[in-house]
């Protein structure tokens, strides 16, 4: 794998870096304190093509390869993980899944709106009673003439209160476990669907996270995405690619931690010299730097495998596992470099640590990634 970026890749990375400096960085602290990212950011992301990366141009996407997608999500993650999450979910989990599994009508209906930022998507898999064990979800979609009627509750749904469409997973028959699950595209203004913001998050405070309650939500049969009963495979294929973008976002957090820690270590003086000149501070900085490189290389490998049409799911789990744990370590080490000032939200590292913490939990916890990797190594499922 050639690690040199092409001119196009460097251009899109630079575009994302400048976007973060102009549209994100000045507002990060205020959005975090207000628990609300300004929603106008979505249209701006769409205008630059960031919500259409890797989606075919005939459906309004901006094309591009998966390394470009990683570069953009890394830059956004360096700026604000709440903003990065908008892209990872609306594009990575929803639009890309419609592009892979949707029929022509579904692609024409949703992709131009999602890729332009006119509409936002959310991914409704987790429920109050099922997180890691998603195949045992309880939401039901009962056939009623030409329609389905959906009842159930979804929990912790990113973009939930902002979204125009939810990629919803529901049980359509009584087959045990994941075999009875189907996927649906449900407009969020459908009668019977209500949303409640989840407040009090440790991190990602600016992100719209919601509980969705569906009571007698009626959708036409044309809302079914992919074949009936294939919903769990659709969810897992979405998450495998999604893990690459979470990993890239984590590289962004780790890089931001490194940049902040190196800068501060050069400015802060103790014992008559910059703390950067104390060997144990250099150890903290070097530990962060090695984590950044290792996480980035694992993540780029996933992009390379996808773009070459190779099997990538296990590599995506390895990248997500390593990068998410590394993001927590890096932010924590950076906070140590900042001393007491790192504990105050006028400095960036406390927020990096709070935002990083969820990365080892969502899109499959670290334990679940280890089970996926273990299954690939042994051929035996420990789920
Ligand atoms: C901010 C935020 C945003 C989210 N966004 C979305 C979203 O957009 N869409 C969506 O569908 N979900 C979303 N989630 C949900 C997220 O994916 C789940 O929280 C996650 O899958 C874990 O599920 P759980 O919280 O129910 O934990 P549980 O599954 O109850 O796990 C609890 C603990 O048990 C461990 N555990 C569980 N099973 C095993 C096992 N077999 N072996 C070993 N250990 C195990 C876990 O690793 C964990 O440590 C979000 C969550 C958060 C916090």
User: Which residue has its alpha carbon closest to ligand 1 atom 37?
Assistant: 132
Asked which of 229, 250, 276 is the last residue of a domain, the reply is 229
Res 382: pLDDT: 93
For position 142, which CATH number holds?
2.40.110.10
The total number of structural domains that make up the chain: 3
CATH number for the domain harbouring residue 275: 1.20.140.10
- What is the rounded average pLDDT of the residues 243-262? 98
Distance 164 CA to ligand 1 centre (A): 24
| Residue 2, in any domain of the structure | no
Give the pLDDT confidence score for residue 177 in this predicted structure: 84
Answer whether residue 1 is part of any domain.
no
Task: State the pLDDT confidence band at 329, using cuts at 50, 70 and 90.
Answer: very high
Tokens matching residue 8: 């196009």
Do 293 and 181 lie in one domain? The reply is no
State the Cα–Cα distance between residues 373 and 383, nearest whole angstrom. Answer: 12
The answer to whether residue 383 is domain-embedded is no
Clarify whether residues 244 and 362 are in a common domain. Answer: yes
The answer on 109 and 95 residing in a single domain is yes
**pLDDT band for position 217 (cuts 50, 70, 90):** very high
Closest ligand 1 atom to 201 CA: 1
363 catalytic, yes or no?
yes
State whether 211 and 149 are in the same domain.
yes
Considering the chain, what percentage of its residues have pLDDT values greater than 90? 97
- For the segment 34-50, the average pLDDT, to the nearest whole number, is 97
- Residue pair 267/355 in contact (Cβ under 8 Å)? The answer is no
Q: What is the pTM (predicted TM-score) of this model? A: 0.98
Looking at residue 44, its pLDDT comes to 98
Q: Which domain holds residue 207?
A: 123-229
Q: Does 156 map to a domain?
A: yes
Residue 181 sits in the same domain as residue 289:
no
| Residue 113 pLDDT exceeds 90 | yes
- Quick one: angle between helices 313-338 and 349-357, nearest 10? 150
Q: Are residues 29 and 54 in the same domain?
A: yes
Instruction: Write a three-state SS string for the chain.
Output: CCCCCCHHHHHHHHHHHHHHHHHHHHHHHHHHHHCCCCCCHHHHHHHCCCCCECCCHHHCCCECCHHHHHHHHHHHHHHCHHHHHHHHHHHHHHHHHHHHHCCHHHHHHHHHHHHHCCCCEEEECCCCCCCCCHHHCCCEEEEECCEEEEEEEEEEEECCCCCCEEEEEEECCCCCHHHHEEEEEEECCCCCEEEEECCCCCCCCCCCEEEEEEEEEEEEHHHEECCCCCHHHHHHHHHHHHHHHHHHHHHHHHHHHHHHHHHHHHHCEECCEEHHHCHHHHHHHHHHHHHHHHHHHHHHHHHHHHHCCCCCHHHHHHHHHHHHHHHHHHHHHHHHHHHHHHHCCCCCHHHHHHHHHHHHCCCCCHHHHHHHHHHHHHCCCCC
CATH number of the domain that residue 65 is part of = 1.10.540.10
| Whole-number pLDDT of residue 200 | 95
Give the residues surrounding ligand 1 with Cβ less than 6 Å away: 89, 122-126, 131-132, 156-158, 201, 204, 209, 358, 361-363, 365, 367-368, 371, 383
Same-domain status, 220 and 181: yes
Whether residues 111 and 150 fall in one domain: no
The answer to whether residue 247 sits within a structural domain is yes
Residues 249 and 366 in one domain: yes
The last residue of one of the domains, among 120, 154, 179, is: 120
How many angstroms is it from 227 CA to the middle of ligand 1?
26
Q: Do 69 and 130 share a structural domain? A: no
Q: Over the stretch 157-191, which tens digit does the pLDDT of each residue have?
A: 999 999 999 999 999 998 888 899 999 999 999 99
pLDDT at 1: 81
Domain-embedded: residue 57 = yes
In 3D space, the residue among 21, 37, 167 whose CA is nearest the CA of residue 90 turns out to be 167
Nearest to 328 by CA among 377, 368, 361, 373: 361
Of ligand 1's atoms, which has the minimum distance to the CA of residue 198? 1
- Residues 345-378 pLDDT 10s: 989 999 999 999 999 999 999 999 999 999 999 9
Among 173, 200, 229, which residue terminates a domain? 229
- Give yes or no: residues 157 and 59 share one domain: no
Q: Quote the ligand 1 centre to 156 CA distance (angstroms).
A: 9
- Please give the pLDDT value at position 176: 83
Average model confidence (pLDDT) for the chain? Answer: 97
* pLDDT of the residue at 185: 98
């Amino acid at each position: 794998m050639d690690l040199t970026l092409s001119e196009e890749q460097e251009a899109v990375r630079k575009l994302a870096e400048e976007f973060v400096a102009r549209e994100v960085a000045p507002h990060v602290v205020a959005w975090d304190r207000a628990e609300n990212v300004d929603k106008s950011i979505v249209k701006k992301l769409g205008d630059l093509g960031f919500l259409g990366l890797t989606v075919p141009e005939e459906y309004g996407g901006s094309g591009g390869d998966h390394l470009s997608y990683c570069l953009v999500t890394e830059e956004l993650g360096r700026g604000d993980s709440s903003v990065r999450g908008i892209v990872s979910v609306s594009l990575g989990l929803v639009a890309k899944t419609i592009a892979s599994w949707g029929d022509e009508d579904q692609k024409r209906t949703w992709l131009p709106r999602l890729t332009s930022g006119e509409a936002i998507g959310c991914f409704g898999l987790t429920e109050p009673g099922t997180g890691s064990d998603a195949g045992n979800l309880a939401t039901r979609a009962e056939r009623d003439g030409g329609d389905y009627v959906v009842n159930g509750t979804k929990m912790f749904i990113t973009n939930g209160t902002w979204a125009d469409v939810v990629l919803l997973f529901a049980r359509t028959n009584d087959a045990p476990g994941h075999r009875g699950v189907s996927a649906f595209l449900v407009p969020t203004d459908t009668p019977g669907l209500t949303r409640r913001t989840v407040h009090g998050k440790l991190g990602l405070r600016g992100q719209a996270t919601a509980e969705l309650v569906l009571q007698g939500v009626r959708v036409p049969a044309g809302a079914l995405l992919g074949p009936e009963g294939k919903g769990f495979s659709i969810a897992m294929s979405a998450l495998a690619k999604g893990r690459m973008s979470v990993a890239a976002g984590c590289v962004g957090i780790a890089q931001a931690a490194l940049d902040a820690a190196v800068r501060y270590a050069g400015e802060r003086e103790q014992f008559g010299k910059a703390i950067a000149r104390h060997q144990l501070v250099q150890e903290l900085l070097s530990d962060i730097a090695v984590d950044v490189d290792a996480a980035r290389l694992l993540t780029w490998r996933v992009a390379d495998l996808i773009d070459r049409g190779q099997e990538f799911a296990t590599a995506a789990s390895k990248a997500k596992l390593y990068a998410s744990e590394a993001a927590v370590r890096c932010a924590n080490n950076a906070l140590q470099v900042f001393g007491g000032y790192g504990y105050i939200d006028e400095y960036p590292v406390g927020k990096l640590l709070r935002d990083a913490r969820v990365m080892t939990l969502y899109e499959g916890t670290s334990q679940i990634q280890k089970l996926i990797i273990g299954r690939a190594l042994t051929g035996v499922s420990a789920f």
